Amino acid sequence: QKEVEQNSGPLSVPEGAIASLNCTYSDRVSQSFFWYRQYSGKSPELIMSIYSNGDKEDGRFTAQLNKASQYVSLLIRDSQPSDSATYLCAGDYGQNFVFGPGTRLSVLP
């Protein structure tokens, strides 16, 4: 069974703080993970991909992958009100992505 789990939130952080978003997966098959941002009524927008254990940084975003614990996270530094959105974690299972339900992030000015 391919499942990707996330806390639905909402996660509220003050502007300028670090937002930490977490994701767990239940199937050993997936080797690649992706974080998408989805604003209400819009399509998923790719933020980052991560394929190997450890950290990957891109600007204010850091993705972390721990395959032994089946855990993926996304840190957003210096959070801005424009970061307020739903963040989707997705695992790549070969020919398709399995998405988590998303975590709603609210960055308070």
Residue with Cβ nearer another protein (47 or 79): 47
Query: Near another protein by CB under 8 A, which window of 14-22, 34-42, 55-63, 77-85?
Result: 34-42
Of residues 104, 102, 107, the one with CA closest to residue 79:
107
Token pair belonging to 34: 């992706």
Residue 44 or 83 with smaller CB distance to another protein: 44
User: Which stretch, 15-23, 35-43, 58-66, 74-82, contacts another protein (CB under 8 A)?
Assistant: 35-43
3-state secondary structure of 67: coil
Beta partners for 55? 64
